[in-house]
Amino acid sequence: MEILLGRSVEIFLFPFSSGWFWLIDIENINLEELAIARSVLNEEDLKKSSRLKFEKDRNRSVVIHALLKIYIAKILDASVKSIKFLHNRFGKPCLPDSLLYFNLSHSNNYAFIGIHPSKDIGVDIEKIDDKNALETFDNFLYPNEKEWLSAHSHPKEGFYTLWCAKEAYLKALGSGFSTHPLPMLKPASTHPQKNHPIEKIEHFFTPSEEFVISDHKYEAYVYDKVINDYKLAVCII
Protein backbone atom coordinates (compact mmCIF):
# COMPACT_ATOMS: atom_id res chain seq x y z
CA MET A 1 0.00 0.00 0.00
CA GLU A 2 3.02 2.28 0.49
CA ILE A 3 3.53 2.61 -3.25
CA LEU A 4 0.02 4.05 -3.50
CA LEU A 5 0.54 6.38 -0.54
CA GLY A 6 3.66 7.67 -2.28
CA ARG A 7 1.41 9.47 -4.74
CA SER A 8 0.11 11.83 -2.07
CA VAL A 9 1.57 14.48 0.21
CA GLU A 10 -0.10 15.83 3.32
CA ILE A 11 -0.44 19.60 3.27
CA PHE A 12 -1.21 22.04 6.07
CA LEU A 13 -3.52 24.94 5.34
CA PHE A 14 -3.88 28.07 7.46
CA PRO A 15 -6.21 28.95 9.22
CA PHE A 16 -7.46 25.39 9.78
CA SER A 17 -6.27 24.04 13.14
CA SER A 18 -8.16 20.78 12.74
CA GLY A 19 -8.65 18.56 9.73
CA TRP A 20 -6.42 16.76 7.26
CA PHE A 21 -5.56 17.64 3.67
CA TRP A 22 -3.72 15.75 0.92
CA LEU A 23 -2.61 16.61 -2.59
CA ILE A 24 -2.43 13.58 -4.89
CA ASP A 25 -0.54 13.15 -8.15
CA ILE A 26 -2.79 11.07 -10.42
CA GLU A 27 -0.67 11.15 -13.59
CA ASN A 28 0.68 7.95 -15.20
CA ILE A 29 -0.87 5.40 -12.85
CA ASN A 30 0.80 2.01 -13.31
CA LEU A 31 -0.71 -1.47 -13.16
CA GLU A 32 0.71 -2.29 -9.73
CA GLU A 33 -0.79 0.85 -8.21
CA LEU A 34 -4.10 0.16 -9.90
CA ALA A 35 -4.19 -3.41 -8.57
CA ILE A 36 -3.53 -2.22 -5.02
CA ALA A 37 -6.22 0.45 -5.31
CA ARG A 38 -8.74 -2.06 -6.65
CA SER A 39 -8.04 -4.42 -3.75
CA VAL A 40 -9.03 -1.65 -1.33
CA LEU A 41 -12.39 -0.84 -2.90
CA ASN A 42 -15.62 -2.79 -2.77
CA GLU A 43 -17.78 -3.80 -5.70
CA GLU A 44 -19.98 -0.71 -5.45
CA ASP A 45 -16.95 1.61 -5.52
CA LEU A 46 -15.52 -0.12 -8.58
CA LYS A 47 -18.87 -0.10 -10.35
CA LYS A 48 -19.15 3.65 -9.89
CA SER A 49 -15.67 4.23 -11.37
CA SER A 50 -16.41 1.88 -14.27
CA ARG A 51 -19.17 4.21 -15.51
CA LEU A 52 -16.61 6.82 -16.57
CA LYS A 53 -16.05 6.94 -20.32
CA PHE A 54 -12.25 6.98 -20.56
CA GLU A 55 -9.87 4.40 -19.09
CA LYS A 56 -7.55 7.10 -17.75
CA ASP A 57 -10.43 8.66 -15.82
CA ARG A 58 -11.58 5.26 -14.52
CA ASN A 59 -8.09 4.47 -13.23
CA ARG A 60 -7.73 7.87 -11.61
CA SER A 61 -11.10 7.52 -9.90
CA VAL A 62 -10.10 4.13 -8.48
CA VAL A 63 -6.83 5.48 -7.06
CA ILE A 64 -8.39 8.63 -5.59
CA HIS A 65 -11.21 6.75 -3.85
CA ALA A 66 -8.83 4.07 -2.59
CA LEU A 67 -6.60 6.72 -1.01
CA LEU A 68 -9.64 8.42 0.51
CA LYS A 69 -10.66 5.17 2.20
CA ILE A 70 -7.09 4.48 3.32
CA TYR A 71 -6.82 7.87 5.01
CA ILE A 72 -10.25 7.61 6.64
CA ALA A 73 -9.33 4.16 7.97
CA LYS A 74 -6.05 5.49 9.39
CA ILE A 75 -7.80 8.35 11.18
CA LEU A 76 -10.49 6.05 12.61
CA ASP A 77 -7.98 3.26 13.34
CA ALA A 78 -10.20 0.90 11.36
CA SER A 79 -9.71 -1.58 8.54
CA VAL A 80 -10.01 -0.14 5.06
CA LYS A 81 -12.57 -2.76 4.09
CA SER A 82 -14.82 -1.66 6.96
CA ILE A 83 -15.16 1.85 5.52
CA LYS A 84 -18.51 2.10 3.75
CA PHE A 85 -20.14 5.23 2.39
CA LEU A 86 -23.73 6.41 2.45
CA HIS A 87 -24.96 9.18 0.12
CA ASN A 88 -27.17 12.18 0.70
CA ARG A 89 -30.06 12.96 -1.64
CA PHE A 90 -27.72 14.90 -3.92
CA GLY A 91 -25.24 12.02 -4.15
CA LYS A 92 -22.54 13.39 -1.82
CA PRO A 93 -20.86 10.48 0.01
CA CYS A 94 -20.70 10.47 3.80
CA LEU A 95 -19.94 8.13 6.67
CA PRO A 96 -22.67 6.64 8.87
CA ASP A 97 -23.09 8.29 12.29
CA SER A 98 -21.08 11.33 11.12
CA LEU A 99 -17.80 9.73 12.22
CA LEU A 100 -15.87 12.08 9.93
CA TYR A 101 -16.68 14.56 7.19
CA PHE A 102 -14.78 14.50 3.92
CA ASN A 103 -14.69 15.76 0.37
CA LEU A 104 -12.50 15.34 -2.68
CA SER A 105 -11.88 17.06 -5.97
CA HIS A 106 -9.68 16.47 -8.99
CA SER A 107 -8.56 18.47 -11.99
CA ASN A 108 -6.17 17.40 -14.73
CA ASN A 109 -3.24 15.58 -13.07
CA TYR A 110 -3.99 16.29 -9.41
CA ALA A 111 -6.59 15.44 -6.79
CA PHE A 112 -7.28 17.10 -3.45
CA ILE A 113 -8.75 15.39 -0.37
CA GLY A 114 -10.01 17.13 2.77
CA ILE A 115 -11.25 15.45 5.96
CA HIS A 116 -12.67 17.17 9.04
CA PRO A 117 -13.48 15.60 12.42
CA SER A 118 -16.72 17.45 13.16
CA LYS A 119 -17.94 19.75 10.36
CA ASP A 120 -19.07 19.51 6.76
CA ILE A 121 -16.21 20.27 4.41
CA GLY A 122 -15.98 21.17 0.74
CA VAL A 123 -12.78 21.26 -1.28
CA ASP A 124 -12.05 22.15 -4.87
CA ILE A 125 -9.01 22.09 -7.11
CA GLU A 126 -8.92 23.76 -10.51
CA LYS A 127 -6.25 23.73 -13.21
CA ILE A 128 -5.87 27.16 -14.76
CA ASP A 129 -6.08 26.63 -18.52
CA ASP A 130 -6.41 28.73 -21.65
CA LYS A 131 -10.15 28.24 -22.07
CA ASN A 132 -12.25 31.34 -21.68
CA ALA A 133 -14.10 30.06 -18.64
CA LEU A 134 -15.08 33.59 -17.63
CA GLU A 135 -17.40 33.93 -20.64
CA THR A 136 -18.77 30.41 -20.21
CA PHE A 137 -19.82 30.91 -16.59
CA ASP A 138 -20.65 34.61 -16.72
CA ASN A 139 -24.34 33.93 -16.02
CA PHE A 140 -23.45 32.26 -12.71
CA LEU A 141 -21.77 35.39 -11.32
CA TYR A 142 -23.33 38.22 -9.34
CA PRO A 143 -22.72 41.88 -10.27
CA ASN A 144 -20.39 42.43 -7.31
CA GLU A 145 -18.38 39.35 -8.32
CA LYS A 146 -18.08 40.63 -11.89
CA GLU A 147 -16.99 44.00 -10.53
CA TRP A 148 -14.29 42.33 -8.44
CA LEU A 149 -13.07 40.42 -11.49
CA SER A 150 -13.02 43.49 -13.72
CA ALA A 151 -10.72 45.20 -11.20
CA HIS A 152 -8.46 42.15 -10.93
CA SER A 153 -4.99 42.52 -12.46
CA HIS A 154 -5.36 39.05 -14.03
CA PRO A 155 -9.10 38.46 -14.65
CA LYS A 156 -8.71 34.84 -15.80
CA GLU A 157 -6.75 33.90 -12.69
CA GLY A 158 -9.21 35.90 -10.61
CA PHE A 159 -12.08 33.92 -12.10
CA TYR A 160 -10.51 30.61 -11.09
CA THR A 161 -9.95 32.00 -7.58
CA LEU A 162 -13.61 33.02 -7.29
CA TRP A 163 -15.01 29.90 -8.90
CA CYS A 164 -12.87 27.56 -6.81
CA ALA A 165 -14.17 29.21 -3.62
CA LYS A 166 -17.77 29.01 -4.83
CA GLU A 167 -17.46 25.30 -5.66
CA ALA A 168 -15.88 24.53 -2.28
CA TYR A 169 -18.85 26.12 -0.49
CA LEU A 170 -21.42 24.32 -2.65
CA LYS A 171 -19.64 21.02 -2.02
CA ALA A 172 -19.58 21.68 1.73
CA LEU A 173 -23.36 22.17 1.60
CA GLY A 174 -23.63 18.86 -0.20
CA SER A 175 -26.14 20.15 -2.73
CA GLY A 176 -23.76 21.39 -5.44
CA PHE A 177 -25.34 23.41 -8.21
CA SER A 178 -28.80 22.28 -7.11
CA THR A 179 -28.46 25.11 -4.56
CA HIS A 180 -30.78 28.01 -5.38
CA PRO A 181 -29.98 30.78 -5.38
CA LEU A 182 -26.27 30.24 -5.84
CA PRO A 183 -24.15 31.83 -3.11
CA MET A 184 -22.74 35.31 -3.55
CA LEU A 185 -19.11 35.72 -2.56
CA LYS A 186 -17.48 38.87 -1.23
CA PRO A 187 -13.75 39.36 -0.68
CA ALA A 188 -13.06 39.45 3.06
CA SER A 189 -12.42 42.90 4.49
CA THR A 190 -9.19 41.66 6.06
CA HIS A 191 -6.60 39.98 3.87
CA PRO A 192 -5.58 36.44 4.82
CA GLN A 193 -2.72 36.49 7.29
CA LYS A 194 0.70 36.43 5.67
CA ASN A 195 4.05 35.30 7.05
CA HIS A 196 2.52 33.15 9.75
CA PRO A 197 5.20 31.95 12.19
CA ILE A 198 4.68 28.28 11.33
CA GLU A 199 5.05 28.86 7.60
CA LYS A 200 8.48 27.27 7.97
CA ILE A 201 6.80 23.89 8.40
CA GLU A 202 7.13 21.86 5.21
CA HIS A 203 4.00 21.86 3.05
CA PHE A 204 2.37 24.66 5.08
CA PHE A 205 0.43 27.22 3.04
CA THR A 206 -1.44 30.43 3.76
CA PRO A 207 -4.41 31.46 1.58
CA SER A 208 -4.02 33.97 -1.22
CA GLU A 209 -7.66 35.04 -0.92
CA GLU A 210 -10.53 34.76 1.54
CA PHE A 211 -14.19 35.13 0.58
CA VAL A 212 -17.19 35.67 2.82
CA ILE A 213 -20.28 33.74 1.71
CA SER A 214 -23.41 35.81 1.14
CA ASP A 215 -24.99 34.88 4.48
CA HIS A 216 -21.82 36.02 6.31
CA LYS A 217 -21.66 32.81 8.31
CA TYR A 218 -18.92 31.03 6.44
CA GLU A 219 -15.64 31.71 4.70
CA ALA A 220 -13.95 30.02 1.77
CA TYR A 221 -10.16 30.14 1.49
CA VAL A 222 -8.22 29.88 -1.77
CA TYR A 223 -4.59 28.76 -2.10
CA ASP A 224 -2.44 29.38 -5.16
CA LYS A 225 1.04 28.41 -3.92
CA VAL A 226 0.46 24.70 -3.34
CA ILE A 227 1.25 23.75 -6.93
CA ASN A 228 1.92 25.84 -10.02
CA ASP A 229 -1.06 26.66 -12.26
CA TYR A 230 -3.62 25.24 -9.84
CA LYS A 231 -6.03 26.81 -7.37
CA LEU A 232 -7.20 24.96 -4.26
CA ALA A 233 -10.11 26.03 -2.07
CA VAL A 234 -11.53 24.89 1.27
CA CYS A 235 -14.81 25.74 2.99
CA ILE A 236 -15.88 24.29 6.34
CA ILE A 237 -19.43 24.89 7.60
Class of the 2-122 domain?
alpha beta
pLDDT at res. 90: 87
DSSP for 142-171, written as a single string: -HHHHHHHHTSSSHHHHHHHHHHHHHHHHH
Residues 38 and 131: their CA atoms lie apart, in Å, by 34
DSSP state of 191: P
pLDDT at res. 137: 79
pLDDT at res. 107: 97
Instruction: Tell me whether residue 131 is exposed, middle or buried, using C-beta atoms within 10 angstroms of its C-beta: 0 to 12, 13 to 18, 19 or more.
Output: exposed
> What average pLDDT values come out for the chain (237 residues) when binned by 10 residues?
94 96 98 97 94 97 98 96 91 89 98 98 93 75 91 91 94 84 82 55 93 86 96 97
What percent helix, strand, coil does the chain show, rounded to 5?
Answer: 40, 25, 35
3 state SS of 21: strand
Which residue spans of the chain are classified as CATH 3.90.470.20? Answer: 2-122, 127-236
3 state SS of 13: strand
For 127-236, CATH gives 3.90.470.20
